[in-house]
Amino acid sequence: MADNASSGLFVLGTIPVAVSDVDLRLCGMVLEKDGEQVSFGAGAACLGHPLHALAWLARILAEVGRPLEPGSIVLSGALGPMVDARPGDRFEARIEGVGSVRVGFGNVGIGK
């Protein structure tokens, strides 16, 4: 994550997609909250291309002696504006050519 502050959790899909199979710069993203569109964007919103952010990270980590390892999960940055999540909210994110993920937030810890 570019600033390590805009999220506390992330959701991964279950079907890997090869980078060579998707135009990451042009792929569109739609985020829905409870069925209503709340954010949209494209890969270009991440430094012009998500791989630019990944290349920067890989270079910096290599310089400090901590290179990325095979299988590392890297969040390259947001493709559109983020929105708050509250207990009871349900989200679905769809990225063209990549797939979709869903998550719901329960009422755990409310009132304690």
| Tens-digit pLDDT profile for residues 62-105 | 999 999 999 888 888 888 888 888 999 999 999 999 999 999 99
**What is d(CA 7, CA 4) in angstroms, rounded to the nearest whole number?**
7
Average pLDDT over every residue of 4-33: 86
pLDDT score for 61: 95
pLDDT tier at 9, thresholds 50, 70, 90: confident
Domain regions of the chain by residue span: 19-104
pTM listed for this prediction? 0.79
pLDDT score for 75: 84
pLDDT score for 112: 45
Report the side by side order of strands in the sheet with 90-95. Answer: 36-42, 28-33, 90-95, 99-104
> If residue 104 lies in a helix (H) or strand (E), which one and from where to where?
strand 99-104
Average pLDDT over every residue of 32-49: 93
For residues 7 and 75, which has the higher predicted lDDT (pLDDT)?
Answer: 75
pLDDT score for 1: 37
